[in-house]
Structure 1
Amino acid sequence: MIRRLKKLEEDEQEEHIDESWLIPYADILTLLLALFIVLFASSSINISKYNAIMKSLKSELTGTKVDTKTAGLTVKNTQKSQKQPPKQPVTHPKSAPPKSANNDQDLENLKQKLETYIKKNHLQAVITLGDTQRGVEVTLKDYILFDSGKANLKPSSYKTLSAIVGLLNTVSNPISIEGHTDNVPIKNSEFKSNWELSAARAASVLHFFESKNIADQRMQFTGYGQFKPLYKNDTNKHRQANRRVNIVILRNN
């Protein structure tokens, strides 16, 4: 009987083997798992993925809540995995210069042709040229175009204006036609002030250009009256110089 009891006690001791070694073993496995996850995350340059993994590990090991719903390991980036079409190389014309450079050269050529025409026809006293920031300015004194106080073109001006038209058609730039007077008040019933007179003179030149097939959309006219003089209106010579029509071939923007 005693032997049987001892045998039973020995059998029970064999059945209850000490399992305390499982706790450190499980801890080691957990740490190894964490180590390999960190190593895997460190091999990627995706900072947001790394931060998400660290938050997930912190949540699992400390029991804290992760704020973001997107924390965790993303195996594939669907946007990057999509095939992108190959980029086409950008080609530039080798010999075509910038448009502004072409236009400046065209205006310079136009200015030279106008100078040649003025010298050939001995018009230096009544027509002057200027190369300004706005463009090429052709200034015609009023008496070559109009009678005093009138806005109808003299027939004698047609030849000069027709020659200018032929040169203007060598470029496509917009054209501004600008009338100017002196400060002597107008004394006829046709025009209320120098504003109306200067505008009417500019419009007459515009309509002549239109009749010579210069495109309407290229042209505009303005009447400045006596408010943009070249000189003070203190002498007859200065007042005569202030009475003028400017034809400005504007630079393209």
Structure 2
Amino acid sequence: MKRRRYSNHDEEHIDESWLIPYSDLLTLLLALFIVLFASGSINNDKLQQIMISMNSALKGQGSSMILKENSGITKELEKSKPQTNKQAETEKLQSLMGQIENYINERGLNKVITIQDEPKGIKLSLKDVILYESGSAELKGDSLSILTDLLDLIKQVENPISIEGHTDNVPITGGRFKSNWELSSARALTVLYFFEEKGIPSNKLQFSGFGEQKPIFPNDTLEHRQANRRVDITILKTE
């Protein structure tokens, strides 16, 4: 009876020690797959650290170091994705800027159109003489072909577009508009409507009129006042 009871007791307590190495093996396999997936976007130093941790785990030092490194991989991936998007956008905008500069030079428009890279985006500045008659917000004939050409280039990107109207400080007397505020806003809005008619989505467009409040130069000479009367078209950065 004693021998039979002893045998039954052994049968009730099955040896489960094999589960420990099995679970460690699964952890190592998971870590390996994560390493293979992330190896294209992390640096060699990070890979070396991960390999050291895996080697330590294989020697029986546990899997905590691997889990720590896996957490580092996740953070590395999270950082690299936005950075890649931002870099791609920067390259597209720089390419667009180069094409617009070539267009301006080829057409001899340097005196009436300038372009510059600013923190908020690429800004095209067009003097009012190329777009409107004095005191008017209606686009004149020659300006339509120029705006169309520029727009064909701008359509290469899908970034939002900001349109700003500016005037000099000479007060408006008579005519359709009561102030420089109204004139600058109407001119920016006219360009916005033109872009919208040419296929730019409405939700990508915005406009504002600043009147005489943001001059490039002091309004002390005829040339400076002419430079201050302008429409700025900015292809905005999204990142």
Band the TM-score falls in, shorter-chain normalisation: 0.5 to 0.7
Distance (Å, rounded) in 2 between the aligned partners of 1:209 and 1:133: 23
Larger radius of gyration: 1
Distance (Å, rounded) in 2 between the aligned partners of 1:209 and 1:106: 20
Map of 1:1-253 to 2, 5 A cutoff? 90=34, 91-92=37-38, 94=40, 98-253=84-239
Tell me the TM-score normalized by structure 2. Answer: 0.67
Once the two structures are superposed, what CA deviation does each residue of 1:93-127 show, in whole Å capped at 9, x if it has no partner?
94787100000000000000001101111111110
Distance (Å, rounded) in 2 between the aligned partners of 1:208 and 1:165: 10
The alpha carbon displacement at 1:187 in A equals 1.6
After TM superposition, where is structure 1 displaced by more than 4 Å over at least 4 residues in a row?
85-90
Classify the secondary structure of the residue corresponding to 1:98: helix
Distance (Å, rounded) in 2 between the aligned partners of 1:125 and 1:113: 18
The alpha carbon displacement at 1:231 in A equals 0.5
AA matched with 1:201:
R
Distance (Å, rounded) in 1 between the aligned partners of 2:86 and 2:140: 37
AA matched with 1:205:
V
Once the two structures are superposed, what CA deviation does each residue of 1:21-52 show, in whole Å capped at 9, x if it has no partner?
xxxxxxxxxxxxxxxxxxxxxxxxxxxxxxxx
Partner in structure 1 of residue 78 of structure 2: none
Structure 1 unmatched ranges of 5 or more: 1-82
RMSD between aligned alpha carbons?
Answer: 2.0
Distance (Å, rounded) in 1 between the aligned partners of 2:212 and 2:39: 49
The number of equivalent residue pairs is 170
Give the share of equivalent positions with the same residue, in percent: 46
Structure 2 unmatched ranges of 5 or more: 1-22, 42-80
Q: Which has the higher helix share?
A: 2
Once the two structures are superposed, what CA deviation does each residue of 1:51-96 show, in whole Å capped at 9, x if it has no partner?
xxxxxxxxxxxxxxxxxxxxxxxxxxxxxxxx9x977865449478
Tell me the TM-score normalized by structure 1. Answer: 0.63
